[in-house]
A and B are shown apart, each in its own frame.
Chain A
Amino acid sequence: MRKGLRIADCGNGRRIADGIWQIAKGVSGLREADFSNRLERRFATLHPCARIVLCALSLLLIRSPQSAILEAQAAPRGKAVYDKWCAGCHGDDGAGVGSAATYMLPQPRDFTKGVYQIRTTASGELPTDADLRRILDFGMPGTAMPGWESKLTENERTDVIAYIKSFSKFFAGKAPTAIAIGKAPSSSSEGLAAGRAAYQKLECFKCHGDAGRGDGKSAPTLTDDWDHPIRAANLAASWRFNGGSTVEDIYARLRTGLDGTPMPSFSDAVESKVVSDEDLWRVAQYVRSLSPEETPAVREVIRAGRVEGALPSSPADSLWAQAERYFVPLTAQIIVKPRWFAPTVDGVWVQGLHDGKRLALRLTWPDPSRSPDPAWDEWLGRVKQSVFEADGAVPVTQAGDRLVLQFPQRIDEEADRPYFLGGNTRRPVYTWRWTSNPDQATEATGTGLGKYVAAAASAVTHSARFNAGEWQLQLTRSLASADTTKSPIFREGQAIPVAFYAADGSNAEDDTRGSVSAWYAIYLDVPTPPRVYIAPIVTMLLTAGLGTMVVMQAQRREREHGRSNLEEYR
């Protein structure tokens, strides 16, 4: 209903509003934008029947003007919306260099070139209005662009699109047409194998890597049309795909390419029979299969299951396949100096196992570079040029990658947790610090991000493995603490607060430039104590006994006194 009868769907809501405006403007002193927005809001509150009647009437009464004329009227109205909500990123002149532009990567769209990534039109063509509308309404996952459907009215969005188009001379030409997109063949395991074969044949791995994690050989060299560095998409994180995560979305991107980026269109390859249309669909299905079906949910408690045999000895151990994976989102460290606005790692997968004596954690996270790697020098240089170097120059040489876990020094459920960002001098944190170069893990006491004192001897052991654009790291420590003043005892059945920090050395990251998480908790599963089963049985027996007693007593009384008392009152 909501979708079915909005003003825009009624013939053309804009047309009605404009028509009525034409009639009304001589009478009232309203500004036009105010008028049409009010009209639209008013219209939305009407009874559906009234809306239909009004639609029909207005379509009969009002001569339908040309859409170009409508757009010419809409653009100036769109300017007000644009200046208020869009200019901060996209700039007053639409060139994509607003105040926030260098504080993000990818950077805001430059509307003056008329080059758009997400289209339904052929490579090099302009997007259709519906393409622009989709991005405006729902945003672009994996970028700073949010969806505006909930914030701006129908009219405001129509107007702002007209205004955005006015930034580029190319929209003056004839309207683009969407390419025809067929239907996906039904999915099957053979289909996925065919998709994998086509992925190899089309050499998608050159940029996206063998496992699709954006770690291909060409990945460090990629730039967009504005000479900003651009990542080959991590195909294992479909929730961050700019143009949507369905098989149809992916197929459309393969056909149209992502203009302005290195991603080419495969339409010519299909037309010249270099690849069949079906195989391209198979590629789309294969790519989709690389990501979890659902966007990973964030859960606060990470359960570490108890194993009876030996704990895994490396992150490649098959035992880890049985441990549940928890996704911990990481966010840019833009809280204390020096900050970094374009970190690589946006989440870590955590698994835990323990055997009653030791706790083993397996951490996996996508990182296209095994830092330091000379192939990524070029990337580092470009990132340094494109992203604002807040709080001092960023490193010019690549450091290693790193991952830090922090815990409170003592685990006391009553007490406050230390400051989540590395603790402070008043409440230090206990950390496990792993670096790729040199490959080592140490225990340390942290008194703030990047401020730490390593322990003389480390009780934490590690095993790290870089595999096709992914770090896999196992960290293991005994539940007992070597020094209870500095490190906590891990107890079964207890929520152990934990927070994470990750950095990619090839992306100018170090001890404070990187990604951080909030506090989470690791829970070490306990063997279920017998009282869990005994207590319910006892209470059940007690209740049943008590109930039986009440019944028996009532019946005895009934036999002794009859129901005479009751009958007296009737």
Chain B
Amino acid sequence: MSRVRQALRHPFWQAFILLLVAYLFFKFGIAYLPALLGMHSAPVPSSVIMQYMFIALVGVLIHVSSDEARWRQFKEPVQATLVDRDKKWLRLSLLVLVPLLVGFATYQRTRPRVDAPIELRSIHPAPPGQITFRGKTIPLTGLENPLRKRGSMPEHLRTGQRVYYQNCVACHGDRLDGQGHFANGLSPAPASFADAGTIAQLTESFVFWRIAKGGPGLPREGTPWNSAMPVWEDFLTEDEIWAVIIYLYEQSGWQPRRWEAHGAAEEGKAP
């Protein structure tokens, strides 16, 4: 027990434990800890982990070398491993193991890969300031859903439900989770409106743009060549699209993002 405590006070083992903890945190902590609190997260790419680890390593080295005594103490086990007679076997096994590890890593890098090309795409690309809908110019900036001030809401919801079930349900699903009966096989997968990262982050004008112009209407960073979202202005009227937007928010329980009263020029998308 006391040996463990002694080891914990030793700068070499401190450095070792710090780096190990940092690695585990970058690799698993960032991905899974926020989920325990109900927050969304994702695994960190290995190249980013490498960067983080490099920074951590620099920090640890600064710490152990900040005063001479500690630095010497830190080097002690290293030096001992290199020269001590009673550490001969440890030394020899390290001399075999480390090259093996390096060889394996090299093989991993040089062996032929069969991965599909990676494509990055922006989930919510910046919308244009205005669009042309069936020949009519509609400014998107500051645009509110006109149906919210016109006609009867139950009527809009009925229309929206019909439009959704006749056009959207096959891919976006009747649970709104992007798992409709024709969603299988589409890449990227259809958006899940149940997810807090989609319509909950957007203004209704942004949603209108995405529905009206579909995959082919995406700007470059949204890779139009892959999205299967149809160009709905070819199928639906302006009011039908606004009605289905009302239905989407009502059915999912989200609130559309609102335009700031003063900042009409602000982009209609999530930061």
Contacts and interface: CB of A to CB of B under 8 A. Distances in A.
B226 A535 contact: no
A420 B225 contact: yes
Contacts of A558: 83
Contacts of A424: 216
B207 to A, nearest CB: 19
Interface stretch (A4-12, A243-251, A548-556): A548-556
Contacts of A341: 170
Contact of B225 (A334, A418, A541): A418
Interface stretch (B14-22, B122-130, B179-187): B179-187
Contact of A417 (B76, B106, B183, B225): B225
Contact of B72 (A388, A427, A521, A566): A566
A204 interface: no
Interface in B63-82: 69, 72, 76, 79, 82
Interface in A517-538: 517-521, 523, 525-526, 528-529, 531-533, 535-537
A196 to B, nearest CB: 31
A468 interface: no
Contact of A518 (B69, B169, B187): B187
Contact of B165 (A89, A328, A331): A89
Contact of B226 (A334, A420, A554): A420
A569 B94 CA distance: 28
B228 interface: yes
A334 B166 CA distance: 11
A416 B169 CA distance: 29
A532 B107 contact: yes
A528 B114 CA distance: 13
A544 interface: yes
A318 to B, nearest CB: 25
A532 B98 contact: no
A532 B228 contact: no
A99 B169 CA distance: 10
Given A418-B225, A551-B82, A336 B185 contact: no
Chain B, interface size category, equals 35 or more
Contact of A540 (B82, B83, B99, B251): B99
Interface stretch (A31-39, A113-121, A297-305, A366-374): A297-305
A312 to B, nearest CB: 22
A547 B174 CA distance: 63
Interface in B107-124: 107, 110-112, 114-117
B106 A495 contact: no
A329 interface: yes
Contacts of B251: 84
A517 B110 CA distance: 32
A224 B79 CA distance: 83
B95 interface: yes
A5 B107 CA distance: 51
Contacts of A519: 187, 225-226
Interface string B31-54: 000000000000000000000000
A554 B79 contact: yes
Most chain A CB within 10 A, of B95, B107, B114, B229, is at: B114
B223 interface: yes
Contacts of A300: 116, 187
Contacts of A413: 117
Contacts of B96: 544
Given A337-B234, A419-B225, A103 B170 contact: yes
A532 B112 contact: yes
B136 to A, nearest CB: 21
Q: Give the interface size bracket for A toward B.
A: 35 or more
A172 interface: no
Contacts of A148: 175
Contact of A495 (B116, B185, B230): B116
Q: Chain A CB within 10 Å — which of B169, B171, B224 has the most?
A: B169
Contacts of B165: 88-89, 98-100, 103
Given A419-B216, A536-B103, A523 B114 contact: yes
Contact of B185 (A89, A518, A550): A518
A332 interface: yes
Interface in B207-236: 215-216, 223-226, 228-231, 234-235
B164 interface: yes
Contacts of B72: 566, 569
A146 B117 contact: no
Given A88-B164, A334-B182, A543-B102, A521 B116 contact: yes
B230 A535 contact: no
B103 A146 contact: no
Interface in A137-196: 143-144, 146, 148, 150-151
A416 B225 contact: yes
Contacts of B181: 104, 143-144, 146
B112 to A, nearest CB: 6
A554 B83 contact: yes
A529 B116 CA distance: 20
B161 interface: yes
B91 interface: yes
B28 interface: no
A300 to B, nearest CB: 4
Q: Pick from B183, B225, B226 the residue with the most CB of A within 10 Å.
A: B225
A539 interface: yes
Contact of A548 (B95, B103, B169, B223): B95
B100 interface: yes
Nearest to B68: A569
B103 A540 contact: yes
Contacts of B104: 536
Given A331-B186, A518-B186, A535-B106, A526 B225 contact: no
A566 B107 CA distance: 41
A529 to B, nearest CB: 8
A141 B30 CA distance: 36
Given A146-B174, A535-B107, A554-B79, A517 B185 contact: yes
A102 B269 CA distance: 36
4 closest Cβ contacts across the A-B interface? A329-B185, A540-B103, A518-B187, A88-B165
16 contacts: A85-B174, A87-B161, A103-B165, A103-B166, A144-B174, A151-B175, A332-B170, A336-B234, A416-B223, A519-B187, A526-B112, A528-B111, A528-B112, A554-B83, A558-B83, A569-B69
Interface of B: 69, 72, 76, 79, 82-83, 91, 94-96, 98-100, 102-104, 106-107, 110-112, 114-117, 161-162, 164-166, 169-171, 173-175, 177, 179-187, 215-216, 223-226, 228-231, 234-235, 251
Interface of A: 84-85, 87-89, 98-100, 103-104, 143-144, 146, 148, 150-151, 298, 300-301, 303, 328-332, 334-337, 341, 347, 388, 413, 416-421, 424, 427, 493, 495, 517-521, 523, 525-526, 528-529, 531-533, 535-537, 539-541, 543-544, 547-548, 550-551, 554-555, 558, 566, 569
